[in-house]
Amino acid sequence: MSPLSAAALLLCTAVLLLYARRVRRFGRACHPRLGATPGSALLPGSVVEAFYWAFQAPGRWLARLGVDPDVVTFLALACSLASVPLLATGHLAWGAVAVGVGGILDALDGMVARLRGRASPGGAVLDAVLDRLSDSAPFAGLVVFYRSSVAAVLLLLAALVASSLVSYARARAEACGLRLPEGIMRRHERIAYLVLALLIAPLIPGAAVPYPLLLAAVTLIAVGGFAGAAILVARARAALACPDPGAPPLSPTPGSPLERAAR
């Protein structure tokens, strides 16, 4: 494992330990945006809460500096796109840092917008479109890296498609006025698995195909993404077939899954 990978893992561990200490002393941090179930069957909610809690301070700092939320959004995209050449050339640790920093900045842009009173549907649309580019970037880099293995390339393409399906299925459901359970393989979950896999993949270099741990994580993203999208579609169809007559129609609001591209 490279020193960079070790440092990144130590930093993540420190965040989790500090949040655990905070919970023991003051209880769980309350973040309405995360909802009642921020995690999933695969990713504990406490992990999501820990990192969202850690992002509050830099979010407030950027807001006090008067940073435009769109600038943060484009910086998030730039970091994610930087992962393409890094991963294509086999620099997994640096690629993980690029993907991780891009994900952090993507979380911060919404915080900055709300703190500065700049949240708007226009910003949400921009964020949603750029998120799809950011989602594709690491998989594009890995496709180049694994170009000699047809099976690995197909697996990476499947994970890319599955990632988009989860976001699109939830966005379409929100557009129909539905508010569905969170489900699995949302964007922050996909980023967490991919970054972790990129950091620890060198522990098992592999023989015929390099870094089997990384391909295992990609398989998880692909299978979980397709399953998550299928569940969302089934729930949306069932809800639309039997609407609750007493429920008022829902519309996208700042902070809703539609506004944030249905992570």
**Which residues are designated catalytic?**
131
Question: What one-character DSSP code corresponds to residue 259?
Answer: T
Q: What is the chain's Cα-based Rg? A: 19
Whole-angstrom CA distances from 94 to 10, 46, 85, 88, 251 are: 15, 26, 10, 11, 40
Neighbour tally for 24: CB within 10 Å: 8
Residue 29 in contact with residue 22, Cβ under 8 Å?
yes
Sign, CA torsion 226/228/166/180:
positive
Q: Do 215 and 155 form a contact (C-beta atoms < 8 A)? A: yes
CB neighbours of residue 253 within 10 Å: 12
- In one-letter notation, the amino acid at residue 128 is A
Distance of CA 208 to the CA centre of its chain: 30
Half-sphere exposure of 224 (CA within 13 A, CB side): 19
Do residues 153 and 146 make contact, with C-beta atoms less than 8 angstroms apart? yes
